[in-house]
Copies of this chain bind each other. A is one copy, B any other.
């Protein structure tokens, strides 16, 4: 083997950021149009003029591609909220949720919330790539509040914070017929989440 070849790292073609964003946008458009079940890798390849080999090489399959597209469009990135107080952090999340895909795309999320009951691969990808990182980031935020003395380390409500946050967003449309907005979410943080935590 010639030395210059041995020195080459194994490379695979990376998509440019622009190309990736365009591809993720097309995946979400298709999801809105046909739903998760009817979405095929063939349709994604055709819509984006990609080869299926490229799609499978970059992502493992349809669940990972869909969740990666969702994560790209809805980068919650809880770690960037570090306001110095639990109330400030939680309100920052509430305001961010209103701006984010999670509320504007409530229909898309409800479609996925339905599909996870039938598709274990989608559920696993959603939990590994989206939910578990957010739950860990949320727990680090709560740990900072414990370290600052704002929150008891053994607050029984602590493990329920992800359920409270996601529950507030997804139930408002069902119950009231309007989407959760900043006023609703900040009110939910102030009236439910912080008092439940005893903070």
What residues make up the interface of A, taking CB atoms closer than 8 Å to B?
A: 106-107, 110-111, 113-114, 116-118, 123, 126-127, 131, 135, 156-157, 160, 162-164, 166-168, 170-175, 177, 187-188, 190-193, 195-196, 198
Contact = CB atoms under 8 A, between A and B. Distances in A.
B191 A156 contact: yes
A75 to B, nearest CB: 19
Given A171-B170, A172-B163, A175-B131, A110 B106 contact: no
Given A116-B173, A171-B162, A190 B110 contact: no
B175 A162 contact: yes
B174 A166 contact: yes
B163 A167 contact: yes
A163 B180 CA distance: 11
Contacts of A156: 187, 190-191
A142 to B, nearest CB: 14
A173 B167 CA distance: 12
A160 B113 contact: no
A179 to B, nearest CB: 10
Given A110-B117, A113-B114, A114-B113, A171 B177 contact: no
6 nearest interchain CB pairs? A167-B167, A156-B191, A107-B117, A114-B114, A196-B196, A110-B114
